[in-house]
Amino acid sequence: MRTVVFAAVLVAAIVPILIILYSQLVMYRNNLYKTRFDNIRTNTDMIINVINSTGFINNQEGSSAHEEINALADYCNGRIVVVDKNLTILEDTYNNGLGKSCISAEVIKCLKSAKEVDISNGKKDVNEIIMPIINTDRELSGAIIVAYSNGDINETIAFVARNSLALGVCIIVVIGMFGLFVAVKISSSVNKVESSVNEISQGYLDKEISVDDFMETDRLSQSLNTMCSSIQRLENSRQEFVSNVSHELKTPITSMKVLADSLIAQEEVPNELYKEFMQDIAAEIDRETKIINDLLSLVRMDKSSAQLNIEQININELIEMLLKRLRPLAAQRNIEIVLESFRPVVAEVDETKLSLALSNLIENAIKYNYEDGWIRVSLNADHKYFYVRVADSGVGIPQDCIDSVFERFYRVDKARSRETGGTGLGLAITRNVILMHKGAIKLHSKEKEGTTFTVRIPLTYSNNPKA
């Protein structure tokens, strides 16, 4: 990571610097070339005027054009040749071609076309412009060839390029050092987070991560801390669950052991006592079986692994069937059950699981009710949800226990729950089933007056986890 960040900073710095330096240099050089070219062209035009005005082509003796031509040759550090239209050299600032013929292809081209020929290509040290000499009567009388040097410009550019390169290297070194610093800083922050995470993964869940070097590492640390706290909470609840399970499973076994031991310890135990003790042992076995069954239901309904068998179910019929089964139980304590169905409801639910959830609520309403009490079960629906309400006239739940009754193994009154065959898992199972259906459960209770559970479940089941 350090290398990547460093390389990224370097590339991001070097490439633009080189491009900018190069393009500036090229622009500067082209500008110099153009200025030089324009200057020479203007001067050449002036000389053509002098040549024309002094009749230099016909008579070179005493013409002031001679001085002008030499002055321009000095200025451009080059050579100027003037030819007439027959290609005879009339003037040569190098003095070695006078009177001879000039048979350069470009000069012939210039004379033929009567147009300027530019054979300056900028990059070379020596360049040439050939211009036709046209007099005031618009007659072509010859041509002037100006060979000029760009050597001084090229030297200046080379000098500027060397200096710019040195400056660029300095800037790159500074940026490189800065890049290295940033890379080291970022990677050391990430390393700090990594070593904290390694420590946590070795089991130190309570270790606090705090790397606030950057906003991102600070946020990452906070997210990891939140994650660790929820893992810690899960771990605590797992341990508590395991210890509760062991305790609950051990209780009936301890009772059975005590009963069996006391039978073994006595000699010639009367038959009635045997029978009584065996009945108690059988009751404990039933209890153990119920706990195990409830535990299995709960585990099977673990939200992550559970599978729902969704079908279109008539909820009115489902509740009537449940009440038919539970009415005899209520009748034993003279508890009246009333069903209020406000409308026919058909919904997509898992029939077995929903039956279990609702019968837990109705069974509780019977178990935690007074003799001659009442239970009102109502079913209603709107366009999106159906609502089942189970209200009873029972013992109620103290305010401070309301939030806990859905926890596994939680019982307000252990003795009463045990007496009525409760395992403390019923409401946990109910809540899991309702959550699996993407529903909600609410509870309202007043001690000694009664309890009302309200369940809300969508009419259409959606597999979408966000639903």
Residues near ligand ADP (CB under 6 A) are 360, 364-365, 368, 392, 394-397, 405, 410-413, 417, 422-428, 451
Q: Compare residues 50 and 435 and give the one whose CB is closer to ligand ADP.
A: 435
Q: How far apart are CA 271 and CA 263, in angstroms?
A: 11
Cα 402 to Cα 447: distance, rounded to the nearest angstrom: 11
Q: In this complex, which beta carbon is closest to ligand ADP, that of residue 349 or of residue 412?
A: 412
In our burial notation (b when 16+ CB lie closer than 10 A, e otherwise), range 371-391 reads: eebbbbbbbebeeebbbbbbb
The secondary structure of 340-379 as a DSSP string is EE-S--EEEEEHHHHHHHHHHHHHHHHHTS-TT-EEEEEE
Q: Measured from the CB atom, is 148 or 453 closer to ligand ADP?
A: 453
Residue 425: CB minimum distance to ligand ADP, A = 6
Q: Pick the closer one to ligand ADP by CB: 141 or 359.
A: 359
CB of 204 to ligand ADP, least distance (A): 35
Pick between residue 221 and residue 445 the one whose CB is nearest to ligand ADP. Answer: 445
Asked whether the beta carbons of 291 and 423 are under 8 A apart, the reply is: yes
Single out the residue of 93, 75, 87, 79 nearest to residue 146, CA to CA.
79
Question: For residue 210, what are its two tokens?
Answer: 């705090």
Nearer to ligand ADP, 78 or 394 (CB): 394
Q: How far is the CB of 412 from ligand ADP (least distance, A)?
A: 3
Q: DSSP H helical segments within 210-268, as ranges? A: 215-265
Whichever of 345 and 356 has its CB closer to ligand ADP, that residue is: 356
Token digits for 19?
């491009």
CB of 393 to ligand ADP, least distance (A): 10
Report the C-alpha gap between 421 and 462 in whole angstroms.
Answer: 36
CA–CA separation, 196 and 185 (whole Å): 17
For the bound state, the minimum distance from the C-beta of residue 296 to ligand ADP, rounded and expressed in Å, comes to 15
Smallest distance, ligand ADP to C-beta of residue 193, A = 42
For ligand ADP, give the closer residue by CB, 78 or 422: 422
Q: Any idea which residue has 């040749």 for tokens? A: 81
Q: Which of 341, 344, 395 is nearest to 365 (CA)?
A: 395
> Alpha-carbon distance 351 to 359, whole Å?
12
Report d(CA 37, CA 24) in Å as an integer. Answer: 20
Q: At closest approach, how far in Å is the CB of 363 from ligand ADP?
A: 8
For residues 425 and 410, what is the distance between their CA atoms, to the nearest angstrom? 8
For residue 300, the minimal CB distance to ligand ADP (Å) is 17
